[in-house]
Amino acid sequence: MIKVGIVGGTGYTGVELIRLLSRHGGVSLQAITSRKDAGMPVAEMYPSLRGHVDIAFSTPAEAELDKCDVVFFATPNGIAMQEAEALLAAGVKVIDLAADFRIKDISEWEKWYGMSHTSPALVASAVYGLPEVNRERIKSARLVANPGCYPTAVQLGFLPLIEAGVVDVGSLIADCKSGVSGAGRKAEVHTLLCEAGDNFKAYGVGGHRHLPEIKQGLITAAGKSVRLTFVPHLTPMIRGIHATLYARLTKDVDVQSLFEHRYANEHFVDVMPAGSTPETRSVRGGNACRIAVYRPQGGDTVVVLSVIDNLVKGAAGQAVQNMNLLFGLPEGLGLDIVPLLP
Amino acid sequence: MIKVGIVGGTGYTGVELIRLLSRHGGVSLQAITSRKDAGMPVAEMYPSLRGHVDIAFSTPAEAELDKCDVVFFATPNGIAMQEAEALLAAGVKVIDLAADFRIKDISEWEKWYGMSHTSPALVASAVYGLPEVNRERIKSARLVANPGCYPTAVQLGFLPLIEAGVVDVGSLIADCKSGVSGAGRKAEVHTLLCEAGDNFKAYGVGGHRHLPEIKQGLITAAGKSVRLTFVPHLTPMIRGIHATLYARLTKDVDVQSLFEHRYANEHFVDVMPAGSTPETRSVRGGNACRIAVYRPQGGDTVVVLSVIDNLVKGAAGQAVQNMNLLFGLPEGLGLDIVPLLP
Amino acid sequence: MIKVGIVGGTGYTGVELIRLLSRHGGVSLQAITSRKDAGMPVAEMYPSLRGHVDIAFSTPAEAELDKCDVVFFATPNGIAMQEAEALLAAGVKVIDLAADFRIKDISEWEKWYGMSHTSPALVASAVYGLPEVNRERIKSARLVANPGCYPTAVQLGFLPLIEAGVVDVGSLIADCKSGVSGAGRKAEVHTLLCEAGDNFKAYGVGGHRHLPEIKQGLITAAGKSVRLTFVPHLTPMIRGIHATLYARLTKDVDVQSLFEHRYANEHFVDVMPAGSTPETRSVRGGNACRIAVYRPQGGDTVVVLSVIDNLVKGAAGQAVQNMNLLFGLPEGLGLDIVPLLP
Amino acid sequence: MIKVGIVGGTGYTGVELIRLLSRHGGVSLQAITSRKDAGMPVAEMYPSLRGHVDIAFSTPAEAELDKCDVVFFATPNGIAMQEAEALLAAGVKVIDLAADFRIKDISEWEKWYGMSHTSPALVASAVYGLPEVNRERIKSARLVANPGCYPTAVQLGFLPLIEAGVVDVGSLIADCKSGVSGAGRKAEVHTLLCEAGDNFKAYGVGGHRHLPEIKQGLITAAGKSVRLTFVPHLTPMIRGIHATLYARLTKDVDVQSLFEHRYANEHFVDVMPAGSTPETRSVRGGNACRIAVYRPQGGDTVVVLSVIDNLVKGAAGQAVQNMNLLFGLPEGLGLDIVPLLP
C-alpha cells in the first residue's frame, strides 16, 4: 500500500481527493493536515465521509508527512513551494494541486500570483501533470504540478488541432464556463447561492491566472508563440467546466478523425460522435474529459466543446491519475467511476 | 455471476440501477428492455455510461429475461403485475421497483393507483423489501416489492419510536420534501426547470399514493391502527428526500439512545450524533439513510430528521441491497459508495 | 413627499427596500448609510439599480437622518436599539426591520439574541408591525417593530384558527422552509452555492430566534399559553418561505370559510381556493401572503400552507406597508407588484 | 386607453406580456386567446396574477380581436403568418413575438423553420422591431416583427463595432448562454429540472434558427456580407441571456467611448463602466440590455459582454416598447422596472 498524506484537506479539492482515495484500493491514507481544524474528524466536517473515513485532521507536526510515499498539496497557492523541498529531500513524492509549480517562467508566475516564488529551482524540475501530454515524464517525476481546471479542459480541446498544425495559433479563443466549486469553499460574497444562483456572468476578462498556464501548454505544442483570448464565466451549478473553443483552420482537414486518432489510446478522453453536445453532468464525479468538434456550416472556423468535472479531471482525479503513474500502477486505478446522472 | 435483466431502463431509476450494477462485481447485465428505444445503445441516451456500459436497449422478445437469475422492473406502475408471474414460473427472481406488490390490501391499492390489480395472488406472496425490517424474509423471497422513496425515509425514521411503543400513534405527522427526480423523467410541465426551479410547494396534500404504503408499515410495527398526516413537498434540487417527522412521546425516553440501539447493526442507517442536522447531499449517490432525533425544548414532541437519496436508498440502491440478500451475497456488495459532495 | 432615510442599505433587505421605495411615488429617498461603503454609489454595489437610484452610501454623520420623516433600520440586530431614541426624540418615525423591538419580554429577548438590551423602555412603546393584527395601533405609532419573515408566514397561517378558538394550542407544529436570502448577504460558508445548492436540511431544530416572536403573537391571539414546535429548513432557492402548519381541531369547522372570512378585507392575504397548493414563486417580488387550508382525509388535523417572499412581505414590503399606515397613505401604495414568474 | 389583444397567452412570453401590460397604465387588456384553455381564468394558470388580472382565456371567436387597436402574437412560429392579414385589414396593428416576419429572405426562412410561408407579402412590409436600429420606421409601422432573444443581445453588442466599420466582419463569433425559459413552457425532457439543472451544455452548434436573423441584422449594419459563428448554450437558470462576442479590430479605436456614444440616447441600453462584468440578474425582470466592452491584454480582439432578460428585452418588454412607439406613447411607458435582485 502506498502511504499517502494530504496537506490541506478542508477544501473541495481536498474532500474530493479523500473520496477518490478512500475507494482506490492501493493506498493507505496516513494523515490529512489542517492547522485550524486539527483534532476534528474529517467526517464531521464532511458527513458524506461518515462510515468511509475514520481519520481526523492533524497538525503538520503530528502528521509525519516525511514518512509518506507521496504527499498531495490541496492548499492555497504559495504553500507547497515552501514545504515541498523538505519532503522531496526525505524521498517523498509530491503532487501539488495548487499553482506553485505549473509555470516555468518565474517572473510571469510572480506577476499573476502576486508573490515571490521561494523555490524557483523546484519549478524547473517539476513535471506538468497532464498525462495526455507528459505521461512518460510523469512516470519518472518526483514533483508533479497538477494542472488547473480551465487549463485541463482547454488544452485537451486545442491540442489535436495545434499539434497537427492545422489552425492559426494567432487567433485562438477559449470561452469557458465553470461551476461555482471552482472558487473553492472560502466564505465570500460572490459565491453565495443568492449571488451566484440563477445568474450568469463573465469574470477576469482582462486577465485570469490560468491564461499563462494555458498559453505555456499551447506554445509547447505549437513550437511557437500563440495568441489566446480566454474569457471565463461563472455558471450557476456546482461542478463542471465547459470550454467552447474557436480556431481558424488553415488546412482542410477532417477534424472528427483528427481528434479520434489523437485520443484513440487515452482512457480518460472521450471523443464523442460527430454532432454530439457533451454535457457537464455526463462527467459529474468522474475523471473523463468529453469532447465534440464541429465545423459550423462547413466553414473554416472549428469549434471544440470540451467538458470535465473541475474537481476530478480538473483537480483531484487528475492528481490520482498522476499518482498512479508515479508509482507504476494502472493509470485508471480507483478512477473507474460512473458519473452521477441525474 | 448473477445474470440480471432490467425491464424499463430508460428512466432515472433505471439508469441509477445500471450505474450501481455496472460496478457491483457480482452480476452480469444481460438485457435492458425498452420497446420504444430498442436498438439504441444505453450510453447514447445516458452519455454518463459511455465507457462503462456497452449494451443496447432490447425488445422484450430479444431480451430472453426468463434466462436471467433476477429481473428488476423499473417500469411505471401496472407493468410488473402483468409480467412477473411468467418470470417467477421460469424460476427467475423478481424485484419490482414500482408499486405493484407493495400494498397487501388489494382494494386499497386499486383505489390509490386507479387500476384493477391483475395478480392479487402474487401480492400475498411478495415480500416488502425494507431490509431493516424484513431481512430474513427477503433472503428467502422470490418476489420483492421494493419500497417507495417517501416510505423508506418515513418508516426508517418512525420505526424505533413505534416499535418501542413510546409515542402516540394516533397523531403522527410526516412533513416530507423531495427533489424533483422523484417525479421521474417524463416530459411534464410541472417538473420543468422553469416551473420547479427557484420554487417550493406542497402537493398531494389531500392524499398521496405513498400514504397507504407508509401506514401499512407503521401499523405492522405498532400492532394497531395509526393516524398519519403526510404532506409531501417539491424542493428545487435533483436528488434527495428529507423527512421531518413529528410524534408525541407517551413515555420519557432517551430518544438518541433508542435510535442508536435500534440501528446499531444496520450498515445503511446512520444515526448521527445528537444535535446534528442531516443534509440530503450527505447521501447523494449513496445508499445511506442518515437520521437525527430531537426533543425541542425538552418537551414531549419528538422530531426526527431522516434523509436518503431517493434514487438510491429510495429505489435502485435498496433494490440492489435486496438482490444481495436474495442471492446470499454480502448485503452491501456494490453499495460501498462515498456520496458526492459538493 | 415623505423624506426617508435607510440605515444599513447594503444587505438584501436594504436593496429590496430601495427597490420598493424607488417606485413608491410618495417618498423621497434622502440617505442610505453605510460606514464601510460610504461614498460608493448604491447602484455600483447593486447594478440592478442603475438608472433608478442615483444616491451614494453616506456616513451616519453626513446623512442627517434627524431631518427625515421616517428612518428604516435594515441593520443587524442590536443597532436600532442604540440609535432609535435620538431619532424619535427629533420627531422622526422609526421602522426597525431587525429584531430589537419585537419581543416584549426583555429577558427572553436577551436570552435568544445574546446581548443586553439598551432600550427596554422603547420596547414597551413599540408596535409590532403586523398590519393584519395591529393596523390601528400602527397608524398612531412612532416606533414600529417590523416582524420577522418566519413569524409573518406562521402567524398569518395560524391566526384564523387560534382567534376562532377551534384548535388545540397545546400542540402546534410549524414546519418551515426558507430560501437562502433569509440568511442575508454575509460571507459565510453554509450559504455558498456549493453548500446550500442542490441540498436540503433543517437547522436550529433545538431552538431558533423566531420561536419566541411567533409564540408571543400566538399567545396574544389565543389569550393563553401555547406550545409550538418550530422547525426551520433551508431550501435551495433564493427567495421565499413556505410554512406548513399543523394543528388539531377541537371543533368541527369549515376551515376554508373560516380563513376566507378572516382575511376578506386583507389586500395582501390571499386565501386560495380549496385544494390549492401555493407556490413560493407565486409571490416572488410581491407583498402577498398566499394561504391554503386542508383537512386531509377529513380528519381532525388541519394543515395550513402559507407562502410569502421573505424579503417583501417578510421584510421590506411589510415595512413599506407599515410606513404607509404611519403616514396615512393608502396601505398598498407602491406595493401593487405582479410577482415575477417564471 | 389602447385596446389590446393577445393571441396565445399561456406560454412564458404571454404571461410576461400580461405582467407588463397589467401595470402599463395606457392599455386595456381586452382578450387573451387560447383554444385549449378557453374559459380558465388566466390567474388560475398563473397564480402570480391573482388580484392583478381578472380576465379568462377566450376562444378566438369570442375574442373579437378585430376590435382591438393592437394584437400581440405570443404563439408558436407559423400562427401569426396565417392570422395577421385579416387583422391588419381591419385596421388592427400587429406585433408578432414569434419569428414569422423577421427574415426577409423567404426561402431562407422556410429552410430554417421547416414550413412554407403563407404571407410572403407581409414579410416585405413588416418592420423589424429593434428600436435601437429601426425606431422611426417602427413608429409608422402596421406590422412589427419582434426580434428573437439571442438576436437582440447579439445585435446590440455588435452594432457599434460594425456600424463604425472597425472590425473584420468576416470572423465574428457569438458565444451565447441562455436561461431555460428561452425554450418555453412546453413539456419536454431536455428542459426538465433534472436534465437542465446543475448542468451546462451547448446546443444547435451546427445551426440555430437565430443565426440567419442575426446575420440579416449585421449585414444591414455592415452594408456587406458577414461571417458569424454562433454557438448557443443552455445554462441552469430561469431567465437571462449572456452573449460573449468576439471580433478582430481593424482599427485602433477606443471601444469604450465608441459604445458610450452609440448608445448615449438609448434608455434601455446601459453601457457599463470599463472593467465591468454585467450579470444576467442585474436585468432580471427589466427591459435593459447591459453591455461591457474589453480589449484583453490590449490586443486586437475586442470582447463584448451583453446581457438581457430573454423574456423582457428579448421578448415581451421589447414588444411593449414597440407598442409604445406604434402609438406615439413615451417609449419607456410601463417599462420603468427595477430588476429583481437577489
Contact list, A235 vs chain C (CB under 8 Å):
none
State mean pLDDT over A101-129.
97
CA D6, D10, D13, D18 torsion-angle sign: positive
pLDDT band with cut points at 50, 70 and 90 for residue A9? confident
Which of A165-169, B31-35, C196-200 has the lowest average pLDDT?
B31-35
- What DSSP element (H or E) covers D194? helix D193-196
Q: Is D23 on the interface with C (CB under 8 A)?
A: yes
Q: Are C307 and C290 contacting, i.e. CB atoms less than 8 angstroms apart?
A: yes
**Chain C interface, best mutation among A192, A200, A284, by max C CB count within 10 A:** A192
State mean pLDDT over B166-178.
98
Dihedral angle at the C-alpha atoms of C248, C254, C259, C262, nearest 10 degrees?
-110
Strand ranges, E, within D126-198 = 127-128, 143-145, 172-178
Q: Is C253 on the interface with B (CB under 8 A)?
A: no
- What DSSP element (H or E) covers C242? strand C241-248
Q: Is A278 on the interface with B (CB under 8 A)?
A: yes
pLDDT tens for A14-36 read 999 999 999 999 999 999 999 99
Active site residue B289: no
State mean pLDDT over A64-86.
97
State mean pLDDT over A293-316.
97
Q: How far apart are CA C68 and CA C49, in angstroms?
A: 22
pLDDT tens for B238-275 read 999 999 999 999 999 999 999 999 999 999 999 999 99
State mean pLDDT over C304-322.
98
Contact check, Cβ <8 Å, A206/D294: yes
Instruction: Collect all residues with Cβ–Cβ distance below 8 Å to D264 and sequence separation of at least 6.
Output: none
Cell triple for residue A159? 491540442
Q: Are A306 and A272 contacting, i.e. CB atoms less than 8 angstroms apart?
A: no
Contact check, Cβ <8 Å, D194/B187: no
State mean pLDDT over D239-251.
98
Nearest to C238 among A12, A188, A193 (CB): A193
| SS3 call for C48 | helix
Q: What is the pTM of this model?
A: 0.98
Contact list, C198 vs chain D (CB under 8 Å):
197-198
Name the residue among A55, B190, C10 with its Cα closest to residue D191.
Answer: B190
Q: How far apart are CA A84 and CA A193, in angstroms?
A: 36
State mean pLDDT over C36-58.
96
User: How do D70-73 and D93-96 pair as beta strands?
Assistant: parallel
| SS3 call for C281 | helix
Does the structure show a pLDDT above 90 at B210?
yes
pLDDT band with cut points at 50, 70 and 90 for residue C9? confident
Nearest to D194 among A198, A231, A342 (CB): A342
Query: Hey, which residues does C244 pair with through a beta bridge?
Result: C175, C305
pLDDT tens for D51-71 read 999 999 999 889 999 999 999
Does the structure show a pLDDT above 90 at D9?
no
Q: Is B283 on the interface with D (CB under 8 A)?
A: no
Contact check, Cβ <8 Å, A180/C194: yes
Contact list, C238 vs chain D (CB under 8 Å):
342
Q: Is A318 on the interface with B (CB under 8 A)?
A: no
The pLDDT mean for chain C works out to 97
Contact check, Cβ <8 Å, B238/A342: yes
Contact check, Cβ <8 Å, B199/C281: yes
Q: Is C195 on the interface with A (CB under 8 A)?
A: yes
**Chain A interface, best mutation among B265, B279, B338, B341, by max A CB count within 10 A:** B338
Q: How far apart are CA C282 and CA C290, in angstroms?
A: 8
* CB atoms near residue B120 (< 10 Å): 14
Question: Which chains have 3 or more CB–CB distances shorter than 8 Å to chain B?
Answer: A, C, D
Q: How far apart are CA D258 and CA D269, in angstroms?
A: 14
**Chain C interface, best mutation among B198, B210, B301, by max C CB count within 10 A:** B198
Nearest to C280 among B199, B281, B301 (CB): B199
Contact list, A194 vs chain C (CB under 8 Å):
12, 180-181, 185, 191, 238
Q: Are A178 and A149 contacting, i.e. CB atoms less than 8 angstroms apart?
A: yes
Does the structure show a pLDDT above 90 at A322?
yes
Angle at D156 between CA D155 and CA D160, to 5 degrees: 100
What separation in angstroms does the CA of B188 have from each of A255, C331, D178, D191, D194? 38, 40, 21, 10, 12
Residue with the three cell numbers 506577476: A111
Does the structure show a pLDDT above 90 at D177?
yes
The pLDDT mean for chain D works out to 97
Q: Is B178 on the interface with A (CB under 8 A)?
A: no
Does the structure show a pLDDT above 90 at B9?
no
Q: How far apart are CA C264 and CA D210, in angstroms?
A: 49
Q: Is D249 on the interface with A (CB under 8 A)?
A: no
pLDDT tens for C54-101 read 999 999 889 999 999 999 999 999 999 999 999 999 999 999 999 999
Does the structure show a pLDDT above 90 at C285?
yes
3-state secondary structure C217-235: HHHHHHCCCCCEEEEEEEC
Burial category of C105 from C-beta neighbours within 10 Å (exposed 0-12, middle 13-18, buried 19 and up) = exposed
User: How do A27-33 and A57-58 pair as beta strands?
Assistant: parallel
The pLDDT mean for chain B works out to 97
Domains of chain A: 2-125 (3.40.50.720), 150-309 (3.30.360.10)
